[in-house]
Chain A
Amino acid sequence: QKEVEQNSGPLSVPEGAIASLNCTYSDRGSQSFFWYRQYSGKSPELIMSIYSNGDKEDGRFTAQLNKASQYVSLLIRDSQPSDSATYLCAVNMRGGYQKVTFGTGTKLQVIP
């Protein structure tokens, strides 16, 4: 089992819809969880961080964490074509030193 797993996609959603991106992780002791957005040919960009169970909202983005199920998700409301990118889930499994393990990413396509 991979430490951090994501569906590679592509996930296609129409403009204005809600995009739901999912991620599971293996280490039950993981403490910090992150979502990065990566446009084609660019470097990863941090868009959300979440540390406790529940939802965290930032503009059109909502991160959801369920530590019991070892599951973290990212919802994008009112999806825009500019949201088309690959979204990387990242998990800090050991705390302390900032060592973060990344999933392979889900490619999102927002169709105008």
Chain B
Amino acid sequence: DAGVIQSPRHEVTEMGQEVTLRCKPISGHDYLFWYRQTMMRGLELLIYFNNNVPIDDSGMPEDRFSAKMPNASFSTLKIQPSEPRDSAVYFCASDRRGSNQPQHFGDGTRLSIL
């Protein structure tokens, strides 16, 4: 079975540009999570969806960040405008309800804002 698929793997862009990160969860998983990982703050949950509906976005740092899940097989995390402090590795993860297992992670997107 294919795992969680993220794209792009690496993104380098200039401050002020719009950045869009993409995620395809594992088929049949009804939970999708977006995380950010930095050296200073570790792994932080930004937002998660259940059945395509955002449940908790309390981890989204600012209004510059937005996430959507238009269908069960696709989600985006968008940063507009981007800033150097947004540089991090962004992970998408998915899971199914009731499994008692935490999330299955994608390979991540390494984002660098210059």
Contact = CB atoms under 8 A, between A and B. Distances in A.
A102 B100 contact: no
Contacts, number: 51
Contacts of A88: 42-43
Tell me whether chain B's interface is mostly helix, strand or loop, or mixed: strand
Chain B: number of interface residues, binned into ranges = 20 to 34
A1 interface: no
B102 interface: yes
Per CB-CB distance, the 9 closest pairs between chain A and chain B, nearest first, are A104-B42, A43-B105, A102-B43, A100-B102, A34-B102, A44-B105, A43-B108, A43-B107, A102-B42
A100 B107 contact: no
Interface of A: 32, 34, 42-46, 49, 51, 88, 90, 92, 97-105
A52 to B, nearest CB: 12
Contact of A98 (B31, B41, B42): B31
Interface in B28-73: 31, 41-45, 48, 50, 55-56
Interface in B89-113: 91, 95, 97, 100-103, 105-108
A92 B102 contact: yes
B45 A90 contact: no
Contacts of A98: 31, 48, 95, 97, 102-103
Contacts of A49: 100-102
Nearest to B48: A99
A98 B107 CA distance: 20
A32 B107 CA distance: 24
Contact of A90 (B48, B55, B91, B102): B102
B42 A97 contact: no
B91 A100 contact: no
A32 B48 contact: no
B48 to A, nearest CB: 7
B105 A99 contact: no
9 contacts: A43-B107, A45-B105, A49-B101, A88-B42, A97-B56, A98-B48, A101-B45, A104-B42, A105-B43
